[in-house]
Amino acid sequence: MSRISARTRNEWITAYSFLLPNIIGLLIFVFIPILYAFYVSLHDWNALSPKVFSGLDNYKVLLKDDLWWASVRKTLLFSVIYVPLLYVLAIISALLMNALRGKVVGPVRTMFLMPFAITSVISAIIGMFMLDPRNGIINHLLGLAGIGHQQFLGSTAQAMPSIIGVILWINIGYNMIIFLSAMKEIPRDYYEAAYIDGAAGWQSFLSITFPLLKETSTFILIVTTIGSFQALDQILVMTKGGPANATEVSVLYVFKQGFELLNMGYASALAFVLFLIIFCLSIIQLKFLSLKK
Amino acid sequence: MKLNNRIVLPTVGILFGLLMIFPIYMLVISSLRSETDVFSFSLLPVQMQIGNFKAAWLDSGLPRTILNSLIVSITVTVVAMVFHAMSGYALARFRFPGKTYVFAWMLSTLMVPFAVIMIPLYLITKNLGLANSYAGLIIPSIFNAYGIFLFRQFYVTFPKELEEAGYMEGLSLSGTFFRLAFPLSVPIIVPLTIGFFLANWNAYLWPLIITQDEKLWVVQQQLAHLVGGGYYTPWNIVLAAAVIAAIPTFILFFVSQRYLVEGIKMSGIK
Amino acid sequence: MGKRWKGLTIGAVAAMMLFQVGCGNGNSNGNGNGNAAGKNDSPAQTASGGGGKKVKLKFWDFHTEKEEEFFKGLVDEYNKTHDNVEIEYSTFNQADYTTTKLPTAFASGDGPDIYMISPGDFMKFAKSGLMADLNPYFPEGAKEDFLPASLDAVTVDGKVMALPFELELLGLYYNQDMLSNAGVEVPKTWDELYTAAKKLTTDKVAGLILPPDKGPYFNFIWYPFLWQQGGNVLNAEGTESTFNSPETAKALDFWGRFFREGISPTKLQQGPWEIDHLGKKTAAMQIVGTWAINRAEEVFGDVPINVAPLPLPDGGTAATDAGGWKFAVNAKSENADEAAKFIMWAFAEDPQRALEWCTQVKFAYSPRKSVVEQGKDIYSKGMRKVFTEQIYDSAIPEPRYPSEVLDVVGDAMQQVMFGKTDGTQAAKDADGKINEALKKINK
């Protein structure tokens, strides 16, 4: 066994001391609560009376809970539509921003970011107002264009797309900025070299920009996916899971079980299963994204 | 081709930009309307009810809550920025045993919805003696793997030469970080500052359960209070309050515009 | 060099945190809450209770504006006249109050001593020992002053778990002009209601406003449609579902029809409990409660709004829903005693306070006969007269079903509203689920 050099050991120590505040913080304020939540999932608990141990009962129940699995399907549907859309729109916007020069840059960038400045609850409320079937401005404009009134949030078919639209609106700007920052890191010389070689526009994007954005893309895709499984505020405000459960996604179901029905034990079990689903998805995504080169 | 860039692109940019702020325009317009008119969809304000803003500012606890939100958001952002940059850098640049596990563990903390850990978190915070205090609002909010993840991705793209340069200058490992890497992190720090600040500015559930004293309320609690949920909601005042509540974030955006400009070219290192 | 930086940062952060902790604790300990009267009179005066130590009570609710001020006033007055007690009053957003704030606080043992409960949440808290038995605290003769039905609604196993102080009845509000202009009479039957609403529906005006979103209020408005036919969700003992009945199917179908045919909007910009729909002339009729009268008179005085009893189905009996919050004491509190005394003082003693609440701060009926008697004049003014003379007697208190049952009923309503199934099928499906839920709860 080779001796570990002082330099390597120094590296280990520095690394861990750099990580220490976050390790401690995450441990105390996130991980232990998660463990506690798992502990609760093994009980019957309504938050107001003492817990009653019930072992894996909650998990057995959830396997047969049709409403739960329906919510999982809805969540996946939401994700599958939202994440790619956000990714594509954010990248395209970033490309656009990157190509802009001159005085327009500042204002346009600010305009894209503004939706993010409004609280998610307020943006949801604005979205609701604008999408109102009778008095909303969107329908008004559609009417002017000759298209009939839509029900949007009041229709079981349109509610989900409407919510996706609002959440996209909120988040495009911010994710665009992240892509933009990464794009700016790419040295100009790369593009110049490619230009000399005869590549331009779309080709240079494919061969230079896109590959160099891999780390950022990975980040955005994973974080957005994880986030899409947890989008609660907007849905609570806009539809509460309706109409007729059309927008009842998993996290909403967990919240309902936990805080409206006070089935804390069951809600924790559901959350745990949700966590496992997200975890597996993220691993798959990471593997897939690291392979793709 | 040049024409394209001069006219087409900027026009497209501005059009999309206007589309993005259209709902915000509606927000501001509606906040200037009288109570009975709030929902009318005319594009121009019919009357200018500045009184809404006066009421929102004076009659509710809005100013105090804005101050509280500022204290919390700024503190969390600053502290988190340092901690997360350090962690991200370590995960990206150092070799040490258990690296993948630590990273995976940190990432996994992102995957549990807050509502689920809310109650245990409250119990822990209470037992640490931090309930109903600024510390209780601030400290638990600092630790979030999002920033760590982003910093890591960012630092992974740094060229190896960075550490070598640091070594040659006689800097220790942490010195390399604090003197070389961190200052070069501006392109990622700026969006993250915006992100952290906003996440804390928007926080609602946690402040709701950890504070009891009205004096500790943050901005979102005040807005929710205005909405009430009782027998009627004075929407015009709520919207006015929402506009006021968004002003600090708008200011943050304007200020950070200067730094969002050009990325720092890595070639300079060589 | 780097190490020094690090040390400085961590040191600064630690200092900041300590500073914050110091500040924060100062805030929470210093009774800084502007709500309580807080004037510490000389501790020498001890009217009742222990030697000079002040009992601190936490009172949480969700009221806003005038209602909040009323309770603040009560708290201030009580604090001033009772030196051994100091009550701290805090309010929260209503939705969060019941779903998040209360459960979280109670779960960690930090719950308030005094709080408000609605029929929808009643059983949850009653079953967890979070409501103190108020029987011993009724002043002489007060208990008899209450309507038996209102006390029944809060009694479990012979114990009065909360104090009712308001009864809010539902009626059919309408815009007189709109009806006359369309040549429509005030509907008295279901069929008339349907035809009238349909006729009155235009692009800009909804024929009838009903709540479209799931929740306790949603069910609250619908129950009369079931009760008027003699149907009910559960049997009298509350142990079994009676939901699978033709009455239920009919009520579900009738309700759902309004939405499917576009007479009632499936999405509202304002709450379905706000009379603004009529006030702003975006609707012709609305089923809403007594609380709307004050606002209609004060803000929409120029709109000819009137009210009528809820229309009946063929062969049906008059029935309306009587809701209202109740005042409760946390049985697990150390000072449940003093808390109960406050509640009784507020609404079971001097009728004046109850009268003020029910007639000035808002409009509602009191469950106390003496109060209604005293307020006779007010109860015969304007729209109130309709309630007093034509609606009051048919009031049935809002049921206190467990949340699971509420949820299943709500789902059934939505399934029919959005055309997923018809009334009969929905009633059948719900029936099974209700029984399942009941089994689990009464395990």
Question: Tens digits of per-residue pLDDT, A267-290?
Answer: 999 988 998 999 899 889 888 887
Nearest chain A alpha carbon to C99 = A259
Q: Does C380 touch chain B (CB under 8 A)?
A: no
In a domain, C145, yes or no: yes
Q: What tokens were used for C301? A: 């005085």
- In one-letter notation, the amino acid at residue B1 is M
**What is the Cα A67 distance to its own chain's centre?**
23
In a domain, C246, yes or no: yes
In a domain, C46, yes or no: no
Query: Do C154 and C197 belong to one domain?
Result: no
pLDDT at B265: 37
Cβ–Cβ under 8 Å, residues C319 and C153:
no
CATH number at residue A187: 1.10.3720.10
Distance (Å, whole) CA A145 – CA C433: 46
In a domain, A10, yes or no: no
pLDDT-derived band at C39 (thresholds 50, 70, 90) equals very low
CATH number at residue C60: 3.40.190.10
Domain that holds residue C248: 168-322+402-441
| Non-local CB neighbours of A133 within 8 Å, separated by 6+ positions | A139, A149, A150, A151, A152, A154, C265, C266, C267
Nearest chain A alpha carbon to B37 = A135
Query: Do C309 and C419 belong to one domain?
Result: yes
pLDDT at B261: 55
User: What are the pLDDT digits (tens) for C89-133?
Assistant: 988 888 888 888 888 888 888 889 999 998 988 888 888 888 999
Domain boundary residue among C334, C354, C383? C383
Are B30 and A112 in contact (CB < 8 Å)? no
Distance (Å, whole) CA C149 – CA B267: 82
Query: Do C427 and C307 belong to one domain?
Result: yes
In a domain, C229, yes or no: yes
In a domain, C43, yes or no: no
pLDDT-derived band at C34 (thresholds 50, 70, 90) equals very low
Using CB atoms, pick whichever of C5, C24, C96 lies closest to residue B135: C24
To probe the interface with A, which of C266, C330, C405, C441 has the most A CB atoms within 10 Å?
Answer: C266
pLDDT at C20: 35
Half-sphere exposure in the Cβ direction for C203 (13 Å, CA): 7
Q: Does C212 touch chain A (CB under 8 A)?
A: yes
Backbone angles phi, psi at C208, to 5 degrees: -145, 130
Q: Nearest-CA distance from B129 to chain C in Å?
A: 9
pLDDT-derived band at C27 (thresholds 50, 70, 90) equals very low
Q: Write the secondary structure of chain B as one string of H (helix), E (strand) and C (coil).
A: CHHHHHHHHHHHHHHHHHHHHHHHHHHHHHHCCCHHHCCCCCCCCCCCCHHHHHHHHHCCCHHHHHHHHHHHHHHHHHHHHHHHHHHHHHHHHCCCCCHHHHHHHHHHHHHCCHHHHHHHHHHHHHHCCCCCCHHHHHHHHHCCHHHHHHHHHHHHCCCCHHHHHHHHCCCCHHHHHHHHHHHHHHHHHHHHHHHHHHHHHCCCHHHHHHCCCHHHCCHHHHHHHHHCCCCCCCHHHHHHHHHHHHHHHHHHHHHHHHHHCCCCCHHHHC
Q: What tokens were used for A79? A: 């994700």
Are B84 and A22 in contact (CB < 8 Å)? yes
Query: Do C146 and C233 belong to one domain?
Result: no
Task: Name the residue among C258, C65, B29 with its Cα closest to residue A129.
Answer: B29
Would you tell me the crossing angle of helices B186-201 and B145-156 to the nearest 10 degrees?
A: 170
Using CB atoms, pick whichever of B23, B27, B116 lies closest to residue A169: B23
Cβ–Cβ under 8 Å, residues B239 and B23:
no
Q: Is the pLDDT of residue C286 over 80?
A: yes
Residues of A within an 8 Å Cβ radius of C: 17, 21, 46-49, 128-129, 131-135, 151-156, 239-245, 256, 259-262, 264
Are B122 and C279 in contact (CB < 8 Å)? no
Tokens 């404009």 found at: A141
- C317: left (phi > 0), else alpha (psi -120 to 50), else beta? beta
Nearest chain B alpha carbon to C100 = B209
Tokens 């809404």 found at: B52
Query: Do C133 and C103 belong to one domain?
Result: yes
Q: Is the pLDDT of residue A291 over 80?
A: no
Q: What tokens were used for B210? A: 């950890």
Q: Is the pLDDT of residue C19 over 50?
A: no
Cβ–Cβ under 8 Å, residues B211 and B137:
yes
Q: Is the pLDDT of residue C212 over 70?
A: yes
**What is the Cα C149 distance to its own chain's centre?**
17
User: What are the pLDDT digits (tens) for C352-377?
Assistant: 899 999 988 888 999 988 888 888 88
Q: Nearest-CA distance from A286 to chain B in Å?
A: 11
pLDDT at B148: 92
> In total, how many domains does chain A have?
1
Mean pLDDT, range A217-246, rounded to an integer: 88
Task: Name the residue among C272, C354, C17 with its Cα closest to residue B128.
Answer: C17
Q: How far is CA B226 from CA B221, C12, C75, C353, in A?
A: 9, 37, 22, 26
pLDDT at C309: 94
Chain B, residues 157-186, CB within 8 A of chain C, namely: 171-179
User: What kind and span of H or E run contains C156?
Assistant: strand C155-156
Touching subunits of C (3+ CB pairs, under 8 Å) are A, B
In a domain, C36, yes or no: no
Mean pLDDT, range A43-60, rounded to an integer: 86
pLDDT at C192: 95
**Weakest mean pLDDT among A6-15, A65-74, C318-327:** A6-15
Query: Do C286 and C433 belong to one domain?
Result: yes
In a domain, A58, yes or no: no
Query: Do C68 and C115 belong to one domain?
Result: yes
Q: Which residues of A touch C104 (CB under 8 A)?
A: 47
Q: What tokens were used for C23? A: 């500040």
Query: Do C89 and C223 belong to one domain?
Result: no
Are A33 and B120 in contact (CB < 8 Å)? yes
Backbone angles phi, psi at B130, to 5 degrees: -105, 5
Task: Name the residue among B107, B198, B201 with its Cα closest to residue A225.
Answer: B107
> In total, how many domains does chain C have?
2
pLDDT at C42: 34
Cβ–Cβ under 8 Å, residues A291 and A239:
no
Query: Do C214 and C305 belong to one domain?
Result: yes
Nearest chain A alpha carbon to B186 = A181
Touching subunits of A (3+ CB pairs, under 8 Å) are B, C
Tokens 């200052």 found at: B183
Chain C, residues 45-64, CB within 8 A of chain A, namely: none
Q: Is the pLDDT of residue A293 over 70?
A: no
Q: Does C407 touch chain A (CB under 8 A)?
A: yes
Are A181 and B187 in contact (CB < 8 Å)? yes
Query: Do C287 and C199 belong to one domain?
Result: yes
Provide the edge-to-edge strand list for the sheet that holds C114-117: C85-91, C55-61, C114-117, C326-329, C163-164
In a domain, C160, yes or no: yes
Q: Does B268 touch chain C (CB under 8 A)?
A: no
Task: Choose between C45 and B225: higher pLDDT.
Answer: B225
Are B133 and C27 in contact (CB < 8 Å)? yes
Q: Taking CA C156 as the corner, what is the angle to CA C153 and CA C158, rounded to the nearest 5 degrees? A: 105
User: What are the pLDDT digits (tens) for A137-182?
Assistant: 888 888 888 888 888 888 888 999 999 999 999 999 889 988 888 8
Are B20 and A173 in contact (CB < 8 Å)? yes
Q: Is the pLDDT of residue C1 over 50?
A: no
Task: Name the residue among A76, A90, A72, A73 with its Cα closest to residue A221.
Answer: A90
Q: Nearest-CA distance from B213 to chain A in Å?
A: 22
To probe the interface with B, which of A4, A5, A11, A19 has the most B CB atoms within 10 Å?
Answer: A19
pLDDT at B118: 84
pLDDT-derived band at C249 (thresholds 50, 70, 90) equals very high
Collapse the DSSP code of C275 into the 3-class scheme (helix H, G, I; strand E, B; otherwise coil) and give the result. Answer: coil
Q: Which residues of C touch A261 (CB under 8 A)?
A: 403-404, 407
User: What are the pLDDT digits (tens) for C52-65?
Assistant: 578 899 999 988 88
Query: Do C419 and C290 belong to one domain?
Result: yes
How are beta strands C159-160 and C155-156 bridged, if at all? antiparallel
- A245: left (phi > 0), else alpha (psi -120 to 50), else beta? left
- In one-letter notation, the amino acid at residue A149 is H
Are C130 and A135 in contact (CB < 8 Å)? no
pLDDT at B269: 36
DSSP symbol at C167:
B
Domain that holds residue A147: 67-291
Distance (Å, whole) CA C317 – CA C224: 10
- Tens-of-pLDDT digits for all 270 residues of chain B? 555 667 888 888 899 999 999 989 888 888 888 777 777 766 676 677 788 888 888 877 888 999 999 999 999 999 999 999 999 999 988 888 888 899 989 988 888 888 888 888 988 898 888 888 999 999 999 998 999 998 998 888 888 888 888 888 888 887 888 888 888 888 888 888 888 998 899 888 889 888 888 888 888 888 888 876 666 778 888 888 888 988 888 888 878 876 665 443 333 333
How are beta strands C305-308 and C283-289 bridged, if at all? unpaired
In a domain, A15, yes or no: no
The domains of chain B, with CATH numbers, are 61-266 (1.10.3720.10)
pLDDT at B228: 67
Query: Do C153 and C102 belong to one domain?
Result: yes
Distance (Å, whole) CA B140 – CA A2: 42
pLDDT-derived band at C431 (thresholds 50, 70, 90) equals very high
pLDDT at C375: 86
| Non-local CB neighbours of C368 within 8 Å, separated by 6+ positions | C145, C146, C147, C348, C351, C354
